[in-house]
Amino acid sequence: MSNIITFFSDAYKGLAKESWMLSIIMLIYRSGSMVLPFLGVYLTEELSLSLQETGAILSFYGLGAILGAYLGGRLTDRTGYFKVQVFSLFICIPGLLLIPQIKNIYFLSLIFFLQSTISETFLPANAVAITKYSSAENRARAFSLNRLALNLGFFIGPSLGGILSSVSYSLIFYVNAAAACIAGSIMYLYFRNKDHRISADKMITSQHFRSPYRDTAFLIFISFCVIYALCLMQLFSTLPLFYQHTGLSKIEIGMIFGYCGILLFIVEMPLVNWAAKTFSTIQTVVLGLLSLCTGYLILAFYSHPYLIILSVTFISFSNVLVIPFLSAITSIRAEGKNIGAYMGLFGGIFSIALFLSPLLGSFIAENYGFSRLWLTISLLIIIALSGIYYTYTQKLSEEKNSTSENEKNKSPEEYK
């Protein structure tokens, strides 16, 4: 018993109190973010749209998220993580209150685009804040703590969302707006007097000052991360529709997402801490990608409720074993004055996936069936795994070692 307690407690040691506060803000914000898992169901059931129409509208949400990730990174480098996060949290509120009043497809597409653009500026700024209050040694755990809060929010949010949507879909949007207001208020009150600059000791090498859009090795790496994100984001686009197709109710769908949240709340930090001590970064990422592939392969052949639970368990573990470590790889490479641009580009992979995954998923599901969709996704995961492994081991690691040797021979004047 003492070993178990130590195993869990060690995972949380050594993290700054600011990291904890950022996670609390994320928890509150995401607890209200019950909109995304139910958007597809809302559009098909409440507005009676087809799968392809739903996919097209959801793609506008993803398109706005791409722009939001880019703007969030640029604005963070110019104004700091604090202002961008506060802006995002408060300005997204009017759109959430407006969405339930709109029934026209074209206006919905526009409001989804604007809403996601504003809300997604939050994530690059949040990632930069995590970097500021963590070291290279505990970076993955700091990102994991933040994701733990996010996942716990997805336990609270969708579970409550399933209940609220059975009463009225409008309640989902209103509660999301209230949560954003509370999170924004805490962010402003706690961090307003903090130093929002990235400290000089995090500016490690001169290569970190280049634009991420001119960092060829990193762009290749990111392109394969996009494929991974495209596969993962089926969780929020076509997977709820698949659950609905198999006969699950809205409350049952909410309970499945709630199960994911509570599972990750229990195992995420200890699992990340154990993986960081047991495997290399890239080995952990590969293990997580294999877990994701397994989850979708189960759905390709079975739709029994118990196997659906097993499938989503594998998909959830992929979140734990991939995203914190990819975030850490990006932040360590990016440390310097343009860290916001790097984190914005990394965050943009999920925004691109939000745009493409509804289009790809709904098209394949409607024309060829869900089984072929999950087989296609599994194949894409293998491609992503191969590409990420190759670019990290053959490109990023080689450049890092080469740069480190050059830095050893630099004088302070040359470094400046």
Domain assignment present for residue 77? The answer is: yes
Q: What does the chain come to in residues?
A: 416
Domain that holds residue 164: 18-192+212-404
Residue 66: which CATH number?
1.20.1250.20
Give the count of beta carbons closer than 10 Å to the beta carbon of residue 384.
Answer: 25
**What is the model's pLDDT at position 72?**
87
pTM for the whole structure: 0.70
Residue for token digits 């850490």? 328
What does the alpha-carbon distance between residue 76 and residue 389 come to, in Å, rounded to a whole number?
A: 30
Q: Which of 13, 290, 266 lies closest to 151, judged by CA?
A: 266
Any domain includes 203? no
DSSP letter string, 259-288: HHHHHHHHHHHHHHHHHHHHS-HHHHHHHH
Quick check: 225 and 275 in contact, CB under 8 A? Answer: no
Q: Nearest Cα to 352, choosing from 115, 119, 67? A: 67
Q: Provide the residue-wise pLDDT of the chain in tens; the chain has 416 residues.
A: 566 666 556 667 778 888 889 988 988 877 766 666 667 777 777 777 777 777 777 778 778 888 888 888 888 888 888 999 999 999 989 988 888 888 777 888 888 889 888 988 888 888 888 888 887 677 878 888 887 787 777 667 766 777 777 777 778 888 888 888 999 999 999 988 876 555 544 444 444 456 788 888 899 999 999 999 999 988 877 888 888 888 888 778 878 877 877 787 788 788 888 888 888 889 999 999 999 999 999 998 887 888 889 999 999 888 888 988 898 888 777 765 577 788 888 878 877 887 788 778 888 988 899 999 999 999 999 999 999 999 988 867 655 554 444 434 444 344 33
Q: Which residues of 135-146 are buried (b: 16+ CB within 10 A; e: fewer)?
A: eeebbbbbbbbb
Residue 328 in tokens: 């850490």
What token pair was written down for 113?
A: 């685009």
pLDDT, position 195: 63
pLDDT at 388: 93
Q: Residue 198 has what DSSP assignment?
A: P
Q: Is residue 333 part of a domain?
A: yes
Of the candidates 229, 204, 214, 217, the residue with the CA atom closest to the CA atom of residue 334: 204
State the total domains in the chain.
Answer: 1
User: Does any domain span residue 388?
Assistant: yes
Q: Provide CB contacts within 8 A for 390, sequence distance 6+.
A: none
Domain annotation covers residue 109: yes
Look at residue 11 and tell me if it is in a domain.
Answer: no
Residue 150 · residue 24 · CB < 8 Å: no
**Burial annotation 58-67 (CB, 10 A radius, 16+ → b, else e):** bbbbbbbbbb
For the record, the structure tokens of 359 come out as 């289009």
Please report the sign of the dihedral spanned by the C-alpha atoms of residue 249, residue 161, residue 24, residue 184. Answer: positive
The pLDDT value recorded for residue 111 is 86
Q: Answer yes or no: are the C-beta atoms of 161 and 254 closer than 8 Å.
A: yes
Residue 186 is predicted with a pLDDT of: 92
Question: Which pLDDT score, from 0 to 100, does residue 207 have?
Answer: 44
Q: What gap in Å lies between CA 194 and CA 41, rounded to an integer? A: 42
Do 345 and 222 meet the contact criterion of CB atoms below 8 Å apart? yes
Secondary structure (3-state) at 319: helix
Torsion sign over Cα 232, 233, 236, 238: negative
| Rounded CA separation 414/172 (Å) | 56
Residue 391 in contact with residue 217, Cβ under 8 Å? yes
**pLDDT at 338 (0 to 100):** 75
377 domain residue, yes or no: yes
* DSSP-assigned states of every residue in 125-176: HHHHHHHHT--TTTHHHHHHHHHHHHHHHHHHHHHHHHHHHHH-THHHHHHH
Task: Classify residue 30 as exposed, middle or buried by CB count within 10 Å of its CB (0-12, 13-18, 19+).
Answer: buried
Residue 8 lies in a domain: no
**8 A C-beta contact, residue 112 and residue 1:** no
What distance in Å separates the CA atoms of residue 374 and residue 330, rounded to the nearest whole number? 29
